[in-house]
Each structure stands twice: as structure tokens, then as C-alpha cells.
Structure 1
Amino acid sequence: MRGNHKMKVLVTGATGNVGQYAVEALLSLDETVVAASTRTNKLKDMFGDRVEAVELDFEKPHTYESALKDVDRIFLMRPPHLGKPENLYAFLEAAKNHSIKLISFLSLMGVEKNTIPPHHKIEKKIEELGIPFAHIRPGFFMQNISGIHATEIKEKDEIFVPAGRSKTSFIDAADIGLAIATVLHDSEQHRNTAYTITGPEALDYYQIAEMLSQVTGRKIQYKKPSFLRYRHYYIKKRGLDPSYVNVTVALYFMTRLGTAQAVTDEFFKLTGRKPRTFMAFAKDHINDFDAQA
């Protein structure tokens, strides 16, 4: 084990939903973490001196070498604004030259059968380059609801998501971070694997609205907008990047085809823990849904 600890783990997107939990879980396993972001000052605010903070921008190849120095394992996260898989290829080529023992890529549930999302080609590229991999393919994040979709919940008591009546096996990003840390910490055991991890149950957004109503004491309604209304609202009213919104539309389109409803026990097999329920998550994140907050 000692040789393992000399080398470092690079966490890309370390300020993000999953990245921050991956960092914390790796630190609790006594790993040396290089936390990377385009915003290094934010890294300092979040982690202080518990990590080595580095700038990494996939679109600026001159940032690669310092980020990869003395690193032998990588958590790779595709920044949401980079819609093309090719945006990550130059970094992957650079990583290949660093004899990486394992790269854990944050992918997407069902992506092995679905060529539309950029994650599919990124997985394939890692495999083609011959870098040992452990793809983590989670269901939708609970944090999507407490994050990007919380605005309408707080301001209008509405969930505004074009998911129809589909069910989703939501998973807490903290659980995803733990799964990632687990595979990177034990890199030999998890070489060339893929894990589909979900929460404990599949819920539709009517059920989510009901749980949020219980937790907040307000009547939260699921509005079930069309794709066009959702897209128009998120681009025009919320001012979000059209390419980001288009990716989310594609994901909700797939969700309506039933791609997000499977429940697996792979998180438990990996970590020995049961994944968090949405109800427990909502209670812990009550402030994110509070109209006053």
C-alpha cells in the first residue's frame, strides 16, 4: 500500500456536485488529492490546505502537465458546458503518457446502449487509448432537484421538468463521490470495470413533489411542461446556455423512454452501504427548497 500513497489522485471538476464529494471521500481514505478546477480560488475556499489546488482547463492544454504531475489515478468529469466529446480528447491523450493506473469517468446510466450523449464517445476513447478504467454510470442526481430545478420550487412551488410520467432512480451525489473514491483507492481491483449506480427506488416527479410538500409544509406541484416550453423557459427566462439546455432536453427525452428507471444494487456491492433515499436527502437539504432562504 505504501507505494500507492506517494502518488496522487487528480480530481477534475472538484468544485462540482460530485467532485467535491469525491475529494472528501478520498481524503477520508487517506489519499493525497490534487483538486482541479478552472477556479482555483474556489478550491481554496472549499478545501483549504487539505488538497493541492491546481488550475485545469480542458480547452487550455498548457494547464495539463502541472495538473498531472505525480498523479497515477484520475477522476474525470465532463464540464457541462463542453457538449462535444472531442473537447476532452487532448487531455486524455496527455493522461495516457503518465502511466495512469486507473481513470474513473463520471458517465451516465444506460450510456453503453445509447450513443447520443457525449459520455458514450468519451468512454470509448478512454478504452481505445488503453488507459485502465472504471466507468461510474449513475442515475440522475438528487442534486439536480436541490440545485438547478430548486429555483421554481422556491419561487413558484413548482417542479418544472419535461419528464412526463417517467420514473427516475435518483442518487445522491455524495453516494456517487463515495463510489468514485472506492474504485480509485483500490485501483487494481477495479481495472476495466463499469458500475451502474442508483438510489434505492424509482420515483416519478409527482412522488418527488409529494415528498417535497411533506418536508417543506408547502403544496409543491409537478408541472410536467413540454420540451419546447421547458427549453424556452430555461434559455429565455433563466438565461442558461442553450447547448447545456439541449443536453438536458435530450436526457429528459431518454428518461421518457424509460432509460432512467432501473434500480441496481451495485452501489451497495461497491461500498457496503445502502444508498440514500430521496426523503432523507430532502430533509437534509430543506434549505435549498425553502422559499425564504
Structure 2
Amino acid sequence: MTSGETPADCDTILVTGATGNTGSRLVPRLAALGHPVRAAGRRAPELPGAQGVAFDWYDPATHDAALRGAARLYLVPPTAAPDPAAVMLPFLERARSAGVRRVALLSSSAIPAGGPGVGQVHAALPDLFDAWAVLRPSWFMQNFTDRHPHAESIRTSGVLLTATGAGRVGFIDADDIAAVAAHALTDEPPLRGADLVLTGPQSLSYDDIAATLTALGGRPVRHRSLTYDQLHDRLAADMPAGFATLLAGLDRAIADGAEDRVTDTVERITGRPPRSFHEFAAARWGT
């Protein structure tokens, strides 16, 4: 906030994907800071400190009500969309016309500006808004505990299935992503054109993850390596073929070392270090 400005003076922040991994953690952060928050979801979410509003990327009739009075926007792309720009860019044009001034977009460490999928939205932001930041987190730690195929596989069979081989990833806690998002949406002066690659403090293989889960979770977990084709076929049985190709390709990129990195972005933006996977797992299983 600028000097002399109070939280109550700030315009509404619209949070799309408000019930998801990052949105559900961002909403209470913003509300605790005193900002008016509108929480958007397919069914108007009931979240403390926020006004719920029905919002569907694929239903433009829901967009005007969600945007009314909003000046800042947290963007979570539609899930499993092969071409998110097709629905997101018309919405962003409408958002600009409605008075949105600042945007924080959730993307991926694996997708640069101009890349496939949400990378096309990233590339369009400079022509739409003066103040914008793109959060490009690595893989979520919550993938092993929440509603994700890895978590389900761990629960049902004690196995992690990937095509990553010995490749390493800087896994990050969704709480740390939400903390960065809160700063991106509220800090003054605002971030302008920030491309923020977010990781945890360590780069870990899936073998490392399995070993930590075994040590802390009270049951054996092992990592089983698949080939690219094996993983693609498994994924394609449950999702569009194009999205299965994208996800299997991301695993292959990990195997080739594309995600073997650690950044200081979380600490630089929030003033505190990101949570380690061991800390995350220990908190989950109480050891």
C-alpha cells in the first residue's frame, strides 16, 4: 500500500480458482490484510472474509458480475485446457475494460512466455496491463497428499509412477506460492513485468520423495519409472490426448534435467525461505 492508504481503501481483488491449491490459500491472506476479496468458482465459494461469486471460464455470462468493481486479479487457468488462451484472452480484454489494473497469473516453471498453453497468456500480458506478474512455480508438494494422481497412487498402492527417471525437481509448497501471489497483488510499487520462477529450497528426485514419504508416512512408498510412451498411454486413458502428450512431455523434460534448479524468489519476495519437503511431509504426518 502507498503512504496514507488503508487496506479498506483498496479496490476488490478477484481470485479465480478460489477453492484450488493456491487460491484457497491466497484468499485468507488477502482478507487478513484487510483487502476486499471476491472468491470465484463454478459454484460461488463460501470462504471467510470473501464475497463468493459464480465464475466459469467457459460461460462468459458469469464474467461481468465477477469483474464488477475489481481492480486486481489472480488468474488460475482452466484445468486441463489444451488451449487456455482461447478463453482467457477474451476475459482479460473484458477485465481491462472493466477497470482491472493489476494481474498475477499462475503459470508453470516449465512454460516460458510464448510457450504452449498458458505461455500464450503470459506473452499477451504486456499489451493488456501495466502492472503484471507471472508466477511460475515448480511442481507442488501437495501433489503427494491432496487430489492428484500421485497422491491417489500412493494411497492405493504405495507407488509413484513417473517418466522422470533420476531427474530432479525443486518441489514447492502451495502456501509459498500463495504468499508470493499476495505480495504480487498488494505490494507498492507494483511489480511490472515480473517473471517469477518459484521453487522450494531443494532439488529432489522422485526416489528422494519416495524415501521421505516412507520414512515419515509409516508405510513403504516406492518410485516406479515408466517410459514416455507408457506414461502417455496411462494418462490418455483419463484425459484428452493433447493434454496427456503435454504432461508426459513434462516428465521427459524433468528426466533431461529441465527442472533441476533452485531459485531465491520466494525468500526475495516474502522475506522468508520456502518450506522444505521434509518439513511439509513431517507436518502432514505429525512426526
Residues 199-220 of structure 1 show CA distances to partners (whole Å, capped at 9, x for unaligned) of 0000001110100010112221
**Contact 2:108 2:137 (C-alpha < 8 Å) held by counterparts:** yes
Residues 1:80 and 1:205: Cα distance change in structure 2 (over 3 Å): same
C-alpha distance in 2, partners of 1:180/1:171? 14
| SS of equivalent residue, structure 1 residue 188 | coil
**Contact 1:102 1:133 (C-alpha < 8 Å) held by counterparts:** yes
Using the TM superposition, give the Cα deviation of residue 131 of structure 1 relative to its aligned residue in structure 2, in angstroms: 4.4
The equivalent of 1:279 in structure 2 is 278
**Contact 1:29 1:185 (C-alpha < 8 Å) held by counterparts:** no
The equivalent of 1:36 in structure 2 is 40
The equivalent of 1:267 in structure 2 is 266
The equivalent of 2:245 in structure 1 is 246
Matches within 5 A, 1:190-201: 190-201=191-202
Q: 1:10 is matched with which residue: 8, 14, 21? A: 14
CA RMSD of aligned residues (A): 2.0
Using the TM superposition, give the Cα deviation of residue 150 of structure 1 relative to its aligned residue in structure 2, in angstroms: 1.0
| SS of equivalent residue, structure 1 residue 219 | coil
**Contact 1:34 1:54 (C-alpha < 8 Å) held by counterparts:** yes
C-alpha distance in 2, partners of 1:80/1:243? 13
Using the TM superposition, give the Cα deviation of residue 229 of structure 1 relative to its aligned residue in structure 2, in angstroms: 2.0
**Contact 1:103 1:131 (C-alpha < 8 Å) held by counterparts:** no
Using the TM superposition, give the Cα deviation of residue 30 of structure 1 relative to its aligned residue in structure 2, in angstroms: 1.5
Higher relative contact order (CA 8 A, sep 6+): 1
Unaligned runs of at least 5 residues, structure 2 = none
Using the TM superposition, give the Cα deviation of residue 183 of structure 1 relative to its aligned residue in structure 2, in angstroms: 1.3
The equivalent of 1:98 in structure 2 is 98
Hey, which bits of structure 1, 4+ residues long, moved more than 6 A? none
Residues 171-210 of structure 1 show CA distances to partners (whole Å, capped at 9, x for unaligned) of 0011101100111111533122221111000000111010
Matches within 5 A, 1:1-293: 1-2=5-6, 5-40=9-44, 43-44=45-46, 47-48=47-48, 50-84=49-83, 85-112=85-112, 115-147=114-146, 148=148, 149-186=150-187, 188-236=189-237, 239-286=238-285
Using the TM superposition, give the Cα deviation of residue 61 of structure 1 relative to its aligned residue in structure 2, in angstroms: 1.3
- Count residues in correspondence: 279
What is the percent sequence identity of the aligned residues? 28
C-alpha distance in 2, partners of 1:98/1:250? 38
C-alpha distance in 1, partners of 2:52/2:202? 37
**Contact 2:102 2:129 (C-alpha < 8 Å) held by counterparts:** no
Using the TM superposition, give the Cα deviation of residue 259 of structure 1 relative to its aligned residue in structure 2, in angstroms: 1.9
| SS of equivalent residue, structure 1 residue 179 | helix
C-alpha distance in 2, partners of 1:134/1:112? 13
C-alpha distance in 2, partners of 1:80/1:94? 21
Residues 88-142 of structure 1 show CA distances to partners (whole Å, capped at 9, x for unaligned) of 11111101112322100011115337x5431211101122224421111111111
Residues 53-93 of structure 1 show CA distances to partners (whole Å, capped at 9, x for unaligned) of 11111211111111011111000010223220222111111
Using the TM superposition, give the Cα deviation of residue 3 of structure 1 relative to its aligned residue in structure 2, in angstroms: 7.6
Residues 139-180 of structure 1 show CA distances to partners (whole Å, capped at 9, x for unaligned) of 111112223111111111111122111100000011101100
**Contact 1:159 1:209 (C-alpha < 8 Å) held by counterparts:** yes
C-alpha distance in 1, partners of 2:240/2:216? 31
C-alpha distance in 1, partners of 2:159/2:214? 10
Q: Larger deviation: 81-90 or 63-72?
A: 81-90
Residues 33-54 of structure 1 show CA distances to partners (whole Å, capped at 9, x for unaligned) of 10001122xx12xx14x21111
TM-score, normalisation: structure 1: 0.89
C-alpha distance in 2, partners of 1:245/1:17? 21
**Contact 2:8 2:34 (C-alpha < 8 Å) held by counterparts:** no
TM-score, normalisation: structure 2: 0.90
Q: Larger deviation: 89-98 or 250-259?
A: 250-259
C-alpha distance in 2, partners of 1:245/1:284? 32
Q: Larger deviation: 56-65 or 122-131?
A: 122-131
Using the TM superposition, give the Cα deviation of residue 240 of structure 1 relative to its aligned residue in structure 2, in angstroms: 4.4
C-alpha distance in 2, partners of 1:163/1:55? 38
